[in-house]
Amino acid sequence: MPKWVAPGRVNIIGEHTDYNDGFVLPIALPLVVECRAEARTDRRVRVVSRQRPGETVLVAVSELAAERDRVPGWSRYPLGVVSEFARRGYAHDGIDLELDGAVPIGAGLSSSAALSCAVAVALRDMFAPTVTDRELIDLARAAENDYAGVPTGLLDQSASILCTAGHALFLDVRRLVTHDGVAHEQIPFDLDRFGLELLVIDTGQPHALIDGGYARRRAQCEAAAAALDVPALRDIESAAAVDRIGDAVLRRRARHVVTENARVLKIAEKLRCGADPREIGPILTAAHESLRDDFEVSTPALDAAVSAALDTGAHGARMVGGGFGGSVIALVDRDNTASVAEAVRDRFARSGFEAPRTFVVVPGAGAHRIV
């Protein structure tokens, strides 16, 4: 049975900028979701997952839309992709999907996008080889938005599809959507050369973007852009400009997005020029402070992980993902990685949090077929 894989992602910088037409800088994780796929002839879709033993979902292709609210939540991601292919006119006679995932669920590392993209590349290769990467990204995003009910932007799907090993992906989301000029660039991201590592700290407190907090932030950003009379917060370049917003909450939300876009551009430029990545550490930490104070999506566990990492010599640290739980990244000297991880575990134990999971990541490859 042929197999495809798609990676999760971690964002070096650029949180909550994608749905504001802004800039992001992710890397693909070496952790992937696997999708084995095989055509059927009975116009049905069968989905099973190693993470859901004993649970089989079987739906007729013609009933995918009608069954959306009756299928298990986890299956809406792969079924949504199948439904979106059908909606766009890419016909097939059914498919078997067997899934297995190594991306931690709820850790802010885009396990859902990895799942959707693994299925999407499989369906493209099997039934719709003319679909471009840009269309595939939009298709996977639409599946998550419309079928799974999660109002994500394009960051996660773009990273899963476009990233390459050894590089960070600089992505201009507006250009990706409008097809106006070059939308993305591969920037070398070789921490090993500088004796550095990127440590991921999974707090074990899962986030759930479907629970409303993420959608509220997105709506607040749209309201802030309207208050400034611009199409999106991407169009505001000066943090001082957000002071024109009368509502204090909307003002904070806008300030985060505007300053975060500036941080993405600054880090991308440093990496392009071959600067020592230690120079980006303070920018990462500033991003966490902005997410904590202006966007208000951090948690006590995320803050504790960042604080412990910095206190133990990390060059920079911040929460990643949509927030309300999930993971932290810390930029650390290679010979200090174990000490930082131990310090975070100690801080969590003293704070009454469950023990975190820690692991080092390097930039991996985007979605592809492997057998």
Catalytic positions, written as ranges? 156
Place of tokens 């070059």: 182
Three-state DSSP class for residue 95: strand
Q: Which residues 6+ apart lie within 8 Å of 364 measured at CB?
A: 7, 27, 28, 29, 30, 31, 32, 163, 165
Q: What is the C-alpha to C-alpha distance for residues 220 and 154, in angstroms, rounded to an integer?
A: 18
The Cα 52–Cα 85 span in angstroms is: 24
* 227-231 long-range Cβ contacts below 8 angstroms, 24+ apart: 228/254, 231/21
Cβ distance 344 to 301 under 8 Å?
A: no
Give the number of other CB atoms < 10 A from CB of residue 190: 14
Question: CB under 8 Å to 352, separation ≥6 — which residues?
Answer: none
As a whole number of Å, the CA-based R_g of the chain is 20
Q: What one-character DSSP code corresponds to residue 104?
A: P
Q: At which residue do the structure tokens 């070096």 appear?
A: 12
Structure tokens at 112: 């859902």
Q: 232 CB contacts (<8 Å, ≥6 apart)?
A: 20, 21, 22, 174, 225
- DSSP class of 68: T
Which of left, alpha, beta for 94 (phi over 0: left; psi -120 to 50: alpha)? left
Tokens of 136: 């595939």
Dihedrals φ, ψ of 342, to 5°?
A: -65, -40
Beta pairing class for 3-13 and 368-369: antiparallel
18 in Cβ contact with 138 (< 8 Å): no
CA 45/CA 64 separation, integer angstroms = 9
